A and B are shown apart, each in its own frame.
Chain A
Amino acid sequence: MAAQKDRWVPSLLFLLFCASSIPRSGSVGLQQEPSPQHYFSGLEAGKASLAFFTPSVSPGAQPFLEQIESSAEALQDYGISVVKVNCPKEDVSRYCGKENALRKAFLFRGNRLIREFPTDALFDVNSIVANVLFALLFNEVKYVETLADLENMENVLKGKSNMVFAYVPATGTAEHRAVMEAAFAYGTIHQFVLTTEAALLKATSHDDPDVSSAWLLFCHCQRATDPGQPCRRTALGQPLTLLNIHRHLKLMGAPLVTEVAEDPEKVSTVHLQLGLPLVFILSQKETHEADRRTAEFVAWQLLGKAGVALLSRDLVDLNVLHRSNVALKTPDEGMPIQYLVLEDTDEVITLVEDKNKVKQIQEDEQQQEEEEEDEDEKENNNQDIQDDQVVEAVSRDKKRELPLEQVLVLTEENFHSSLSEAARTVVLFYASWEAVSLAVLRSYAEVAARLQGTSGVLLSRLNCWDWPGLCSQQNVTQFPTLKIYKEGQQSVTYDGMWGTEELSSFILLSRVSCPLKLATMDEAEGYLRGEFPSELSSHHHTSFLGVFSTATGKAREAFEEAGNILSGHVRMGIYFEDDTLALSRKYSVSPPALLLARSGGQSVEGIALSEHSVQDVVQMVRYELLDVFPEITVPNLPRYLRLGKPFLILFSAGDISQMESKEMLKLAKGRAQRAFVACWLNLKKTPVGHGILRKYFSTTPSLPILLWVNLHSGGQVFRFPPEQSITEMSVLAWLEKLQAGLESPSSTLSEEDWKPPLPAYDFLQMMEPSVPELSPHTSPHAGDTPVPHPPKSPGGDTAGGDTATREEPSQESTAEGVGSPGRDLRGTAPRLAARDKQGKRHSEL
């Protein structure tokens, strides 16, 4: 090791020299030669010089001259002098005499002319250096045009020396210069091959290379023994600069795997010197061969990114866990070596390639188990982590026994008999595997507790996973479904919110027919007061009473049908006794009419009913149920959203003040009331409102806050100026400014579509390697960077038991087999550690 280290030092120095000398200015520069005679007589044999001849006065060549002058320094580094020869006026010799010779530069070695360059090939320093070196290194740098040329070259070199193959989009570029400069230094060690053919680039690099950027491959032909196989290649992953090329060549020249028998803390390799990490594969005597293969496999993968060393544990006394199989040394000073337990070679590679991970894994040994799991998750992209809040909540709750004693379990046997047991039977149809219906089942249990003792209602449930025939017979095709059966009548299907509150209310209201036929004036009056029927007296609801004279049959039918539809959601009564007129006169309506008593309200409103269809009645009732200035809550929002209007919403930390309430009510009732929904939100009661405000303002603003939200068009959110007080006038004035477009929105609702939150497993892609006929295009990539083929299972003896089964044809296509050869790193860790991840396959149980 030490010897190797020494070898690197001189070339490193050279590199530093090259790198630093380029920008240096001053000492060397353009030599001035008074005359051609003088110049030619001064040429030394073997020394190269670039000369250009210029008449004493020539304004045209001026820009070119500047470039030549500045390249002089650079060329000086390669022992090439740049000479400007002044042609005397009368000179008519070869170089001075002809007009066109004056537009050229001439490269001499000794006094032999090697190449003449037109000045337009020497447009800048890069092109001058590149072209001059290209000409001088004619033997060292081969130019190829076809793949066949390249392959011939490769074949000739096999077993002899390595090849550096570079593609540059054009000659005379900075990359070209970098390659030539590298060739100047390494041309005797490696064979340099250059091309500008894009076709060659495509043939040697995988996927779709960018033809406008340069590309360099190191071809390991020296090690290549098989004439049929192409040399392994390692691409330079960085831009083509002299420094990068140099670094790359240094790394390629380093031994693939360094065998180490000393304390890893003391080990240093060229990788560490060049700022790259060093990976140690910890080996044991028994598995040494396999470990070396693993190390070589890893080394090929990491070539140019990190060094790999094989550390024999038997020779070095390491104070680390026995299970550790990999160590990582980073070039940073004072960073301790990390010892890890990794499962396969991919993990090693990720470890190096993902620098952040390196920092994460600085925990102690005990935490590494967890780290591994993290890594797994990372691999899966979290696809197997549940991100459905309902499913996750239900599965976290699955061990709790639900208090369902009050709920009768129905089966095919008892279903029909149970329906006749009580006046009304509520049936929840659910599926025991389905999360949403299990969530509803939990609310249903709460309903059962709440309604315990309520007469005339039997709560029951039917698991459609057990009794699919019965469910489809009852026309239940989705879960959950809740139906209320009443003997001799059609069942009513619940279509409201799946909350305890709403379900209970529905069940309670459903106990009374809808509409309820009232027989006497007293009943009718009591009904409007909310006192009759007694079952509903505890229920505060708006009461609707349809008043009909017996003659008006059609309107009554529509009203009754509407009652069926709204059953369970509203209190609806109907009165068509002989003294209808007395009732209608009392409330000054003429039948058919609708009397409406709001809960808590004193007055009874009357609305004429004429020519109303069922749908009209339903809509009217629904509309009348809406408040003028409602408090928006989670359950009631959809009712107001249906109106399709923008919201003028006041967010309040608690109840709103009398003052605000009064002003807002005025607004709501005002002329503009049809254009928007005026409402408020109590953050105490609806804490999710905080989430809304944070989304709008990223922090919770001071409260109360009045917002105009265009929920249905455009999604802009405007904030009423907080310094102004909320009065009808100020708000209306603000609204006018809004309409006129004078205000700018504080926020806009996201327009995003709801895309899949995470990708799915791409089984089609996974299947392709093992089922080639599935692949749409069967041709494999021809010129891929060759993937080395290390032994399938470097674990050798540990895999013994598995090997037999691996020979099973079907096993050829298992993930490990296909994923990447040589993944299995089990051999480097003692056997038990490796078996940790087994056992997920149930056949072993």
Chain B
Amino acid sequence: LGLALYAGSLCAVSGATFLYHDYCVIGAGPAGLQAAYFLQQAGRDYVVFERSHAPGSFFALYPRHRKLISINKQYTGKSNSEFNLRHDWNSLLSHDQRLLFRHYSHDFFPNADTMVRYLEDFASLLKLRVQYNTAIIHVTLEKNEQAWNGHYFLLTDQDRKNYKCSSLLVAAGMWVPNVVNFPGSEYVEGYETVSINPEDFAGQTVLILGRGNSAFETAENILGVTNFIHMVSRSRVRLSWATHYVGDLRAINNGLLDTYQLKSLDGLLEGDLEDLAIVKDKKGKLHITLRFYLENRNISAGIDSITLPQDELDNFATRAPYDRVIRCLGWKFDFSIYNRSLRMMPGKGNIKKYPQIKPSYESRGTQGLFILGTASHSVDFRKSAGGFIHGFRYTTRAVHRLLENRHHGVPWPSRVYPITQLTNSIIKRVNEASGLYQMFSVLADIVLLRENATAFEYLEEYPIGVLAELEMQTGRKAHSGLFVIIMEYGRNFSGADKDVFYYNRAVGEAQHAWQSNFLHPVIYYYKHLPTEHEMKLRPPDWLLPRPDAIHHIVEDFLTDWTAPNAHILPLRRFLENCLSTDLRNFFAESCFLFAFTHQKLPPFCQQGYLRMQGLVGSQELRQHAVQAGLLQDYTHTDFSGDRPPDSHDGSQEQVMRDHAIPVRPLQHLVNAKDE
């Protein structure tokens, strides 16, 4: 740490001059600025490098048709700012109320220019330290045992200026267009440059490669003026309302599905782009053929010598010649600037466009290098929202908290409560927390139990992928068991080919809560922190290893989990049974009775009444409790004390018998164990 103090100044290593910072952030997009905000709040030495002259350069260009598909909900009927973030997909996290996106746009799907303006404001109002016009073109390592991670990161910009940092946060986004190479791919236009003026497409026949939102957005724009549009992609279309994944095709872009299914000439095809070939005829029309046919031929020999599929199969689907072919295949991470020693490897399979990272967002190849923002989506690709602003604003905060603990000895923020607050703490969070809600199945709240279960510590939004490392990563101790609170969709509910509107899809009763399909809170209980090994051996499709007990709070139509009987009561029973205690609330009068009749008191009486903070309750309430049979009313049993004690035995007995009976209804309350 001492190093950091005199660093920040210039230091000369092996001839070159380095400008030192503890933290370097590459990219001043949403994730980079979000990281900068937290670093600034914590008073850390950091700098953000941005190749453009302003933040959010990606949004200055993309999406080409300028409509963001992140919702900007103005009204929710609630004033709870945390809750409202659940339906605000564009704002970054900050303490500044002015920096809410709804102050910038009233559009439900705002214009991308607004995002650029917002990011500019975010950087300037919060006075974030961003160095613009600085494109980092090379990153390498310098071994040094005194460095935080055993090495420094050496960064070089386009002017050969050098920078040195202890920790590198890569928030560079995904901006390298995905390109497929096949014979004739030179005739293909890219999404990046294709005209966005519909008039340019009037009366044309268009083939679009790709099936993501950019492909459909492009189609949407020209739908009205083209002859017809065909769309080719390897995978079938995935609708985000069927998969719960915001990266799949959003309903706002799906006009082409309508025209396809309503027989209006447009159409969707499945096929591997790698097998494709395009040949241009003399009129400039583009014909689709297969690479297979071209293998032994010289493409320059002219179209006539090339076999087209329709020559053999005369109803071949894409036999019509196209005027234009547009590639909308998305983007990938720019791996090129990292020196080999950083071992920045692409992921495997469908996440090969992302760099390989651990669930803690740290690079698998290099310690101290964290990937933030949309490039970190490999952790929850096709599952949660980590690739989008409304998701990575939380994961960035989580990374910041991990770093605070690792490098500055600041443990993960937490709060200690008496055990009587356990049910309430969980209910409060599942009802308002936006990080849990947006980053469902990725970030979880953790309840660490203190000894004897009299108190607990509450940690918010910890990445569950590294649950096993919790003690090391947070600086908090989990020696007496823990609860993991997380939001999940039903396991079998969503998917590209599933009917998500079937009858009786929603569960209404608490006892069937585990079958809930919609997003709902799930609480895992572990007597011991799961080990790394147990995390590895967890059942497939399971986020966590088998817990000692599990609770589902039944899905709710309003996502309002505050119903006393359907939500809170079953949760309380679950917690009680995990902790083996009684978590009911009691009026002071009950505690008074227990104090005289029991050697031990329930936690609520112990932590309230005995500390002079008993819940007296109004007359009406106590009356209600009496009517419910949960409180005994003794006022009517007040037999005359004036009666001399030695009155007739018979009547005395009668009186006593009369009084003995009403005790019954309360029995289960007093003798909790008798049942």
**A residues whose Cβ falls under 8 Å from a Cβ of B:** 380, 383-384, 386-397, 400, 411-412, 431, 433-436, 439-440, 442-443, 446, 465-469, 477-479, 495-502, 634-635, 637-639, 641, 652-654, 683-684, 686-692, 694-696, 698-700, 702-703, 709, 711, 715, 722, 749-764, 766-767, 771, 773-774, 776, 801-802, 805, 808-811, 813-815, 840-844
Inter-chain CA distance A683–B527, complex, in Å, is: 46
* Min C-beta distance of B295 to chain A, whole Å: 42
Whether A433 pairs with B588 at a CB distance below 8 angstroms is: no
The reply to whether B616 and A499 contact each other, CB–CB distance below 8 Å, is: yes
A390 to B603, alpha carbons, bound, how many Å?
A: 15
Q: Do B613 and A496 touch (CB < 8 A)?
A: yes
Q: Given A389-B630, A468-B80, is A767 in contact with B612 using a C-beta cutoff of 8 Å? A: no
Is A843 in contact with B503, judged by CB distance below 8 angstroms? yes
Q: Which of A390, A495, A639, A756 contacts B580 (CB 8 A)?
A: A756
- A684 near B428 with CB under 8 A, answer no
Contact A695 B597, beta carbon cutoff 8 Å: yes
Please state if B625 and A841 are interface contacts (CB–CB under 8 Å): no
Give A411 to B628 CA distance when docked, in angstroms: 35
CA distance A479 to B659 in the complex (A): 38
Query: Are A389 and B587 touching (Cβ within 8 A)?
Result: yes
Check if A497 sits within 8 Å of B612, measured CB to CB: yes
Q: What's the nearest-Cβ distance from chain B to residue A392, in Å?
A: 5
Q: Any chain A CB within 8 A of the CB of B106?
A: no
> Given A698-B660, A758-B675, A760-B574, do A652 and B641 touch, yes or no (CB 8 Å)?
yes
Q: Which of B364-414 contact A (CB under 8 A)?
A: none
**Chain B residues positioned under 8 Å from A500 (CB to CB):** 616, 618
Would you call B651 an interface residue if the criterion is a C-beta within 8 Å of the partner chain's C-beta atoms?
Answer: no
B539 to A502, Cβ gap below 8 A? no
Q: A715 to B600: give the CA distance in the assembly, Å.
A: 10
B637 and A687 within 8 A (CB) = yes
Q: A439 to B570, Cβ gap below 8 A?
A: no
Q: Can you list 9 contacts pairing A with B, beta carbon distance less than 8 Å? A: A389-B585, A391-B568, A394-B564, A442-B621, A702-B652, A757-B672, A760-B549, A802-B503, A841-B507
Residue numbers in B under 8 Å from A683 (CB-CB) = 638, 641
Residues of B within 8 A of A811 (CB): 502
Please measure, in the bound complex, the distance between the C-alpha atom of A69 and the C-alpha atom of B392, giving whole angstroms.
93
Besides the contacts A478-B421, A495-B613, A700-B656, what 10 more A-B pairs have beta carbons closer than 8 Å? A384-B569, A387-B584, A387-B630, A498-B616, A750-B671, A754-B603, A760-B574, A760-B576, A761-B514, A842-B506
Q: Contacts of A773 on B, CB cut-off 8 Å?
A: 539-540, 542
B540-571 interface bits toward A, Cβ cutoff 8 Å, 1 = contact, 0 = none: 10100011011110000100001011001110
In the complex, what distance in Å separates the CA atom of A380 from the CA atom of B590? 27
Interface residue B351 (Cβ < 8 Å from any Cβ of A): no
Contact B564 A391 (CB under 8 A): yes
Question: Nearest Cβ in chain B — how far from A730, in angstroms?
Answer: 17
The proximity string for B residues 627-647 relative to A, scoring 1 for CB distances below 8 Å and 0 otherwise, is 110111111011111100110
Q: Does B251 contact A (CB under 8 A)?
A: no
Q: Is B512 an interface residue, CB under 8 A from the partner?
A: yes
Nearest CB of chain B from residue A776's CB, rounded to whole Å: 7
Q: Are A805 and B502 in contact (CB under 8 A)?
A: yes
- Which chain B residues border A805 with CB–CB below 8 Å? 502-504
Bound CA–CA A498/B612 (angstroms)? 9
The answer to whether B577 and A635 touch across the interface, beta carbons within 8 angstroms, is no
The complex places the Cα of A766 from the Cα of B380 at a distance, in Å, of: 28
Given contacts A469-B81, A715-B599, A756-B581, contact A442 B634 (CB under 8 A): no
Interface 9-mer from B124-132, B270-278, B339-347, B489-497: B489-497
Closest-by-CB residue of B relative to A434 is B424
- Let me know if B576 and A749 touch, CB within 8 A: no
Say whether, besides A400-B620, A810-B490, A692 and B627 are in contact (CB < 8 Å): no
Report yes or no: B432 in contact with A396, Cβ–Cβ below 8 A.
no
CB distance from A401 to the nearest CB of B (A): 12
Q: Which of chain B's residues have a CB closer than 8 A to the CB of A764? A: 546-547, 549-550
Q: Which of A389, A495, A771 touches B539 (beta carbons < 8 Å)?
A: A771
Residues of chain B with a CB closer than 8 A to A469's CB:
81-82
Task: Tell which of B499, B581, B586, B668 touches A808, judged by Cβ atoms closer than 8 Å.
Answer: B499
Knowing A386-B564, A466-B78, A840-B508 are in contact, say whether A439-B617 is a contact too (CB < 8 A): yes
**Contacting residues, chain A, for B421 (C-beta < 8 A):** 478
Chain B 330-346 against A: per-residue CB contact (8 Å), 1 yes, 0 no? 00000000000000000
Indicate if the CB atoms of A396 and B641 lie closer than 8 Å: no
Say yes or no: A763 contacts B550, CB within 8 Å. Answer: yes
A384 touches B565 (CB 8 A): yes
Q: How far is the CA of A653 from the CA of B646 in the complex (A)?
A: 15
With CB as the reference atom, state the residue of chain B lying closest to A816.
B512
Contact residues in A for B652 (Cβ distance below 8 Å):
702
CA distance A844 to B639 in the complex (A): 55
B79 close to A754 (CB less than 8 A):
no
> Are B80's CB and A758's CB within 8 A?
no
Q: Is B11 positioned at the interface, with any CB of A under 8 Å from its CB?
A: no
| Interchain CB contact under 8 A, A810 and B517 | yes
Contact of B641 with A654 in the complex, beta carbons under 8 Å: yes
Cβ contact within 8 Å between B551 and A392? no
Could you say which residues of chain A place their CB within 8 Å of the CB of B569?
A: 384, 386, 388, 391
Question: In the bound complex, do residue A502 and residue B573 qualify as a contact, i.e. CB atoms below 8 Å apart?
Answer: no
Bound CA span A497–B614, Å: 5
The reply to whether B641 and A653 contact each other, CB–CB distance below 8 Å, is: yes
Query: Which residues on the A side are within 8 Å of B491 (C-beta)?
Result: 771, 810
Contact B617 A393 (CB under 8 A): yes
CA distance A752 to B515 in the complex (A): 36
CB of B123 within 8 A of chain A?
no
> Does the CB pair B616–A635 fall under 8 Å?
yes
Q: Are A390 and B585 in contact (CB under 8 A)?
A: yes
B596–chain A nearest beta-carbon distance, Å: 4
Partner of A637, one of B498, B592, B599: B592
CA distance A776 to B548 in the complex (A): 11
Docked complex Cα distance between A841 and B599 (Å): 45
Whether B478 is near chain A, meaning CB under 8 Å from some CB there, is no
Selected contact of B504 from candidates A465, A653, A690, A841, CB within 8 Å: A841
Q: Are A498 and B614 in contact (CB under 8 A)?
A: yes
